[in-house]
Amino acid sequence: MKVEELAVTGAFVFTPDVYPDHRGSFVSPFQQRAFASAKGAPFLPVAQTNHSVSRRGVVRGIHYTVTPPGTTKYVYCAAGEAIDIVVDIRVGSPTYGKWDAVRVNPRDFRAVYFPVGVGHAFVALADDTVMSYMLTSAYVPEYEKAISVFDPDLGLPIPGDIEPIVSERDSVGPRLAEAAEAGLLPDYQECRAIEERLLRSAS
């Protein structure tokens, strides 16, 4: 498995080997040894797994979890294709306001690791796109917040040849600067401390 750090501090993309044969293919999108080498933690303590299914043009995000409690995500595309986007919204982070994007699909099976406190968005490029998530804490609706994926100051890579389909909640999300001014964003140092505790909780 190939491991690369993304432009957002603490975020990684994992690219596994895919083994095709006359029946189809076999792949392991998550491998503990590779994860441990990247994060310096023995294990990813998964509390919940999620799937989302989206039609072409669906844009989800930018979503983040209130910190504390915070959560980390390990995300890959099990069907279809998407642009998966990690956005650094952690106040005080050396890469605050930066983002990176990874094309994900079930051919390469790239997986993206989202550290505590960062924002997550994706754009579905095909009908029936399935995004699979592993999370280190349970999903609690009142802890989940959103920032506008259309914030012009961020300039996220939403293709011009799609008509974005967004939820009502995502359509009214504030810009990053507005969320910062309102004190709604997570603190970088606190996020790092929580992430370290989460990743070492299973050791």
Query: Which pLDDT tens digit goes with each residue over 45-104?
Result: 999 999 999 999 999 999 999 999 999 999 999 999 999 999 999 999 999 999 999 999
Domain ranges of the chain: 2-200
**Residues acting as catalytic residues:** 63, 133
Residues near 2 by Cβ (< 8 Å), separated by ≥ 6? 14, 15, 16
154 CB neighbour count, 10 Å cutoff: 21
CA angle 68, 7, 49 (to 5 degrees): 50
Summarize pLDDT for 103-150 with one digit per residue, the tens: 999 999 999 999 999 999 999 999 999 999 999 999 899 999 999 999
Domain boundaries 2-200, corresponding CATH code: 2.60.120.10
The CB-side HSE value for 59 (13 A sphere, CA atoms) comes to 22
- Looking at residue 10, its pLDDT comes to 97
Could you tell me where the beta strands, DSSP code E, fall in 32-167? 48-54, 59-65, 73-79, 82-87, 99-104, 111-114, 119-124, 129-135, 144-146
Model pTM score: 0.96
